[in-house]
Structures are given as structure tokens and as C-alpha cells.
Amino acid sequence: MKIFRPNTYFSLITLCVSMILFLSFFQPTVHANNLSEKSSLTRATSPGIGTQNLLEEIPPLAPEEPHRKVAFITGVTRGIGRAVAELFLENGIHVIGVARDAVALQAFYTNNLLKNSISRRRGELKTIVADLSTDAGQDSVALAVARYLGENGKLDLVLLNAGVIKPLGPKAIFTASADEIRRCLRTNLESAVVLTGALYPFYNKKNEGTRIMYVSSIAGERPGGGTAFYSTTKAGLDQWVRAMLKDAPGGDKVSFAGVNPGNVETDIHSKDLRGEDPLNFPRATFFNQMKGKLMSAEKAAEYIVWLLNTAPKEEFLKYPKHNIYNSEQQKLWSTEPVLDPYPATQTIPVSKSSALRSP
């Protein structure tokens, strides 16, 4: 019998890791700009998403395992979207993730490939580089999803999560540039509305159907101060869900809900809200005082993954907008209570509480 010495094992592991890193360099990420040129060509000859020629270029998600669920998530490079993607992958669910930062997507892909080599149960990650505040970015997504799903793949879980909070500050209402305003409205609201329809061909209209969730905020119901654009987009998402619940195109096989994920320690808090000059955004002081009191992105992800993947359909459809601080529902998914760090502000009228509102 041949015995491997420890240094032989070490060399083998190093070789495997190097191979994975080398292969990951050729990650078949779909870039919005390349795709939009081709997509207009394809559309001219074949309306809809009949992309036979393009499907050959990029290998679809493991077609030999059709029983695996597939999730689509926007905003997977950081924060809540990244934590949800990690949890799905850990649970063996494939993820197609969208964001702008190609380097961060590449790192996430490589990291998942490494973890995948240890556990074959993990889901596969596919990425799409797209700026969802642009026409090209929004238009490229459906075609990229078609490539990744292959001929028969379907999306089971959809999380429209990408979001930005800027422009910030009371004066921004009149001083923000049209570009800054559009970036917020288009990323947070327009892209979610456009993608709902653009992805319709890929919804699972059989068996368990597709669950679609929109990441909203308390700001959609109760504007704080200095977040007028952000609050407007979240109110828009809330109304979009309520309107769709009347008109849902796929009947009960395609179900919709919004979610308030709570106050979560992500870049929105650490960089944007705390980092803004208090002279421009007075609530920056309050948000700095709240440092250390917010929940982790992993906790918010636990809730969202439960709602999308585990909760019974009746529970998913119970509220047009779920709320992580719903103590009754917490009994179903969390082992410990999840408390609102701003509880006193929940009952104060908007005019008096504007200095204390969450994003």
C-alpha cells in the first residue's frame, strides 16, 4: 500500500487550489455591455428570448441536477444580498447574482468554487455584471438569465434587493443632480419593476411556482428626514406589490411579497448614513450613535431565506410587506427575539420623530 506523507497531501491540496483559481480566472460572467450588442441582434431575428446561439457559449447551471432550486438575486456583492446568496448556496440552491462590481463578483465566484470543491452539495454561483440604473444593464439581465438557465431551467426564488440610499440630506430635494436622482429611482424602483416582467418567461409556473420578494424599508411607510428619494422608491415598491397582488400574471403559481429587513449593519449604514456630513444630513449624528446596535446581514438573510424558501405559501402570502420585527412570525423562524433598535420611535407621529427614523 502506498502511503502519502503530509507534504504530499500539502502539494496535492496546493495543486487543487491552484487549478480552481486558474479555472476561476475564466469565469463565464455575463457583462451587460457585451450582451446588449448581441441581444439586439438576437431580438431582431427572434422575438422574445430564443437565444439558441448564445446558449452554446456559456455552460448553463448543472443540467444534470434539475431538482435543485435556482434563485435570482440583485445586489449580491455586499450586505443583505450577499448574505442571502451565501445562505442559499450553503443550502444547495443555485444562485444567479447581479451587481456592478465585476471584481467583487469575481472574488465571490472564486470563493464559491473553492467551497464547492469541498462540498458538492453547495449550490453553483453564476454572475451578471450589470448597472441596474441603466437601460443597458436592465435589458441585459433576461438574456443572461436565459443563458444560465439553459433550455429548461426555471427561477424558483427571486429577490429584488439592489438599492442605494443617496442622495441624502434635506437640501438634496432641490440640489441633487438629475443623474443622482435617476440613479436612486432607477436602481431601487424602476429596475425591480422592469425585471418583474422581463424575468416572467423564467418563472416556474408548475409545482411550487416562483416566489418573488422586493426588499423595501420602514422608510416606505414613514419617511425619516433627508431620505426623500429613497423613501419614495420604497413606497413605490410597497404599492407595486399591493397592485400586483390584484393583477398577478401567473395566478397563484407566481407569488409576490415585500419585506422590511430591519436595521442592518451594511455599507448603507457604515458608509452612507454615518459617513455623511451632519451639516448636510443632520441624522448622520443619530446613525453614528446607533453604531453597534444594528443586526447583522446574516440575521436579515436568515429571515429572507426562510420567507422565500421555507415558509409555507400561506405565510409568504399573509402580508404584502413582511417585517423582521413581527414578533408573532419570529416564533416561526428565529430561536431568539429580534428587537427593533428604535422601538420608541414606532408610535411617535412622523413630524416629531423625523430625527429618529430608520432608513
- Which residues of the shown chain bind ligand NAP in the complex (CB under 6 A)? 74-81, 98-101, 104, 131-133, 161-164, 187, 215, 217, 261, 263-264, 266-269, 359
Nearer to ligand NAP, 75 or 209 (CB): 75
Secondary structure class of 321 (helix, strand, coil): strand
The distance of closest approach from Cβ of residue 149 to ligand NAP in the complex, given in angstroms and rounded to an integer, is 20
d(CA 225, CA 169): 7
**Whether the Cβ atoms of residue 159 and residue 215 lie closer than 8 Å to each other:** yes
Strand pairing report for 30-31 and 125-129: parallel
- Nearest approach, Cβ of residue 26 and ligand NAP (Å): 21
| Angle, vertex CA 182, rays to CA 155 and CA 225, nearest 5 | 100
Q: Copy the grid coordinates of residue 245.
A: 397582488
Residue 75 or 224: the one with the smaller Cβ distance to ligand NAP is: 75
> CA torsion, points 42, 45, 46, 47, in degrees to nearest 10?
90
**Least distance in angstroms from the C-beta of 67 to ligand NAP:** 29
CB of 209 or CB of 262, closer to ligand NAP = 262
Task: Kindly report the number of other CB atoms within 10 A of residue 155's CB atom.
Answer: 23
Alpha helices in 46-187 (DSSP H): 52-55, 79-90, 102-118, 135-149, 172-175, 178-185
- Of 77 and 140, which has the nearer Cβ to ligand NAP? 77
State how far the Cα of 170 lies from the Cα of 281, in Å rounded to an integer: 7
Residue whose C-alpha is closest to residue 318's, from 256, 275, 229, 267: 256
Provide the minimum distance between the beta carbon of 104 and ligand NAP in the complex, in angstroms, as a whole number.
5
Q: Which H or E element spans position 235?
A: helix 228-247
Closest contact distance (angstroms) between CB of 214 and ligand NAP is 9
> In the bound complex, what is the minimum distance in angstroms from residue 133's beta carbon to ligand NAP?
4
Least separation in angstroms between CB 352 and ligand NAP: 22
209/226 with CB nearer ligand NAP: 226
Distance of CA 140 to the CA centre of its chain: 17
CB-wise, 129 or 204, nearer to ligand NAP? 129
Q: With respect to ligand NAP, which residue has the nearer C-beta, 99 or 185?
A: 99
Count of CB atoms within 10 A of residue 272's CB? 20
Q: Which C-beta is closer to ligand NAP: that of 216 or that of 255?
A: 216
Q: Considering only CA atoms, which of 221, 112, 149, 236 is closest in space to residue 184?
A: 236
Smallest separation, CB 96 to ligand NAP (Å): 13
